[in-house]
Amino acid sequence: MMDDTNYKQQQGAALGKALCQAKRTRVSAFTLLELLVVIAIMSIIVSTSLPALQGLGRTGKNTGAARQVLEDLRYARQVALRNRSDVYMV
């Protein structure tokens, strides 16, 4: 009977040790395939959004140019009213 109890304890200890080792060897990480898929998806998103982002920069420049033209027109109007003459913008 004593041998049977000792045997069960040894088996239980071995099973517990195996479970601990299994838990230790299992590390949460990304596989190479998962990383490559994410990089591919990100490159597709970036390549499709770059033209739209470049257009935003041009829109900002156009808005700045439009504001400058409006300021020039206002200034020309003020000069024309002050001098009571025609003002031409070239």
Per-residue pLDDT reduced to its tens digit, 37-46: 999 999 999 9
pLDDT at 49: 87
Residue with tokens 């009977």: 1
DSSP-derived letter for residue 52 is: H
Note the pTM of the prediction, 2 decimals.
0.37
Q: Cβ(89)–Cβ(72) under 8 Å?
A: yes
- Give the tens place of pLDDT for each residue, 17-67: 666 665 556 678 899 999 999 999 999 999 998 887 777 766 666 778 888
Q: Cβ(72)–Cβ(88) under 8 Å?
A: no
Q: Where are the domains of the chain?
A: 58-90
Q: 16 falls in which pLDDT band (50, 70, 90)? A: low
**What 3-state class would DSSP assign to 30?**
coil
pLDDT at 37: 97
Q: How far apart are the first and last CA of the chain?
A: 112
